[in-house]
Structure 1
Amino acid sequence: MGTHVCRKRMLRWMWGWSVCPVAVSRGHMPFCYTHQANPSHSGPVTHRPGNQLTLCSLLEMGFSETQAKEMHEGATKSRWKHVPSVLTALLLLGLNPSTILKIMQKCPEVYSLKGADLQQRIDHLRKMGLVEGSLQRMISHYPKVMLLPVKRVNMVPRLLREKCLFTIHQVTDILRDSPEVLEEDLAQLEFKFQYVYFRMGVRQPEMVKAKLFRLPLSELRCRHCFLERRGLYQTPDKKGQTLILNPPLKDVLCVSEETYLTQVAMATAEEFHVFRKLMAREQEEKGREDEYSSDEDEEDKDDDDEHWNTGYKKDRK
């Protein structure tokens, strides 16, 4: 169903049409939403947006009968206090009923939002450069973005611009294609960038094209090191030159494991599986070594502090 039709039906529902022919013909009259005049007032009835969600109102908003039942059940379980205003915001955004239902199924926490809070988050994403089309795609793919505090949403773009030196346009593309990055640990996010920039010799435009931030750091490192140890990837020198032709980053990251093995690594799944285990063991041992070194450094620091304090006391006498 077209966006224009969905919006038209939504506006009709907001102004409280008192008759729902579909519901009446199917015996759903008890579920219909109707505005009733207050008997204590003799003046004309003022129509206001309804604050209740019914099967009839969902049908008027463009949901099919099956979709309306599913939406009504989900809203009822969540006590659906603010659901009408949330649906209004999503419909005005241009999302169709089918997409909205999928969003609610994927992220039921959206039921708990207030319409005003949701609209504030949508407006903030627009200010970040997510225009029509990109914004709808982002919310449909990753509805959890509507639950994140504005402060958290701002932290990741700031890191990408200031620490990783992506352009504003590149940051917008990253958020559109990899919205999960908004929840990633900032230190891990920066380390992933540094690994690809310094270790693999890849620059920002290629990172964006390869959708770098969709892949976990562990998988990124595993695929790269596997190629490196097979002599198929080489870290560029200071001039950006290598003795071999490295595969493009998108061919390493943006493909399935099967395609990666057959077309890039030229290896079997068994070989990669064994290598993955070895990599995990190496990282575990390195973690223990780092922890042991950290403990030793802490002990040395304590000893230095003790000697310093002793000497300081002597000077004070």
Structure 2
Amino acid sequence: MAGRLLRGCGRAAAAGWAPVSRGLPAAPGPCPRRGCGEAAGLRAMGFSEEQARRLLGLRPRLGPRRREAAAAQLLLLGLSAEAALGLLERSPALLELPAERLQGRAGELRRLGLDGGQLQRAVRRCPQLFTVPRKRMAAAVRLLRERCLFTAEQLREMLGTCPAVLLEEPRRLHHHFQYVYFRMGVQQKEMVKARLFRMPFAELRNRHIFLERRGLYQTPHKGQTQTSNPKLKDILQLPEKDFLASLARSTPEEYEVFKKLLAREEEEEEEEEEEDRDALHAEEDLDSEESKPARE
């Protein structure tokens, strides 16, 4: 048996072939076929080799068609390859959205007046515009137009500078607007130019009340705005250090103490309101018991 095997090997060697080794399979090379094809597709879309590598590193288990479709939709908005990649790196969840969803949401934003450079800046600043539920976005638009009475042009300008306003819960958004309109006496035109919704409501309220208690801001009387009041734009856009120095004429230490005292006041007010509600419910329960017919 051994002799026959040796003779067989000898004849195989003489014929120019040798038995195939049955060792471990060869390790895959550094560029698997699927990855190379996907990278080539991205490069054909305008991404550099480095950009394609970074893009492939996002959600690596995602199918290539979904990744390329998402990237293509962002490029169709007019974003550069680097801008589209940066957007996807900040919000990789966009890669999992169907292309139809991205395309449809872009169309909705265009119908609101955003187009060209404005649309590009809006999605770069706020990629959540693609993921926020459509009902939430529609409710915010309806509130701003129908209850806050911003014009279509004012809404377009507002969305161009503060697109995150479409993510806000309508009740909070309305409270924010009402405070500035009634308490501060500011009209819609000035709100838009001051980029009102960029500053969180809590910080806006802190600055306004601080000025008010220092005698530097007067609440309008019967709709008449005080011309001596600081401009909303200055209240909102000045860095805190400049706001305190030029408008409030105060120190950071005084402002910090004020904010703590104001927070304490709000807590006490909430506790009093809760006690009043409990007392009211107790009275209603007592009246209900007394109104029941007596049992025979």
Number of corresponding residues: 266
Cα distance, 1:71 vs. partner? 0.7
Read off the aligned partner of 1:70 and give its amino acid letter.
Answer: R
**1:55 is aligned to 2:39:** yes
CA distance in structure 2 between the aligned counterparts of 1:169 and 1:118, rounded to whole angstroms: 24
CA distance in structure 2 between the aligned counterparts of 1:79 and 1:273, rounded to whole angstroms: 52
Cα distance, 1:228 vs. partner? 0.8
Preserved contact between residue 105 and residue 130 of structure 2 (Cα < 8 Å):
yes
CA distance in structure 2 between the aligned counterparts of 1:100 and 1:301, rounded to whole angstroms: 60
Helix, strand or coil: the match of 1:198? helix
**1:269 is aligned to 2:248:** no
Residue in structure 2 matched with residue 158 of structure 1 by the alignment: 142
Cα distance, 1:241 vs. partner? 4.6
Moved over 3 A (4+): 27-32, 77-81, 304-308
Read off the aligned partner of 1:257 and give its amino acid letter.
Answer: E
Q: Which runs of 5+ in 1 are unaligned?
A: 1-26, 34-53
Which of 267, 276, 288 is the aligned partner of 2:271?
Answer: 288
1:24-43 mapped onto 2 (5 Å cutoff): 30=33, 31-33=35-37
Residue in structure 2 matched with residue 301 of structure 1 by the alignment: 284
Preserved contact between residue 185 and residue 225 of structure 2 (Cα < 8 Å):
no
1:8-62 superposed Cα distances (whole Å, 9 cap, x missing partner): xxxxxxxxxxxxxxxxxxx9694443xxxxxxxxxxxxxxxxxxxx222222222
1:117-128 mapped onto 2 (5 Å cutoff): 117-128=101-112
Which of 237, 240, 250 is the aligned partner of 1:257?
Answer: 240
Cα distance, 1:165 vs. partner? 1.4
Preserved contact between residue 80 and residue 112 of structure 1 (Cα < 8 Å):
no
Fraction of identical pairs, as percent: 42
Which of 74, 87, 91 is the aligned partner of 1:103?
Answer: 87
Preserved contact between residue 227 and residue 233 of structure 1 (Cα < 8 Å):
yes
Using the size of structure 2 for normalisation, the TM-score is 0.83
Q: Which runs of 5+ in 2 are unaligned?
A: 1-29
Which of 195, 204, 228 is the aligned partner of 1:220?
Answer: 204
Superposed CA RMSD in Å reads 2.1
Residue in structure 1 matched with residue 77 of structure 2 by the alignment: 93
For residues 295 and 80 of structure 1, do their structure 2 counterparts lie closer, same or farther at Cα, with a shift above 3 Å needed?
Answer: farther
For residues 241 and 89 of structure 1, do their structure 2 counterparts lie closer, same or farther at Cα, with a shift above 3 Å needed?
Answer: closer
Structure 1 or 2, whichever has the larger Rg, is 2
For residues 73 and 219 of structure 1, do their structure 2 counterparts lie closer, same or farther at Cα, with a shift above 3 Å needed?
Answer: same
CA distance in structure 1 between the aligned counterparts of 2:245 and 2:113, rounded to whole angstroms: 39
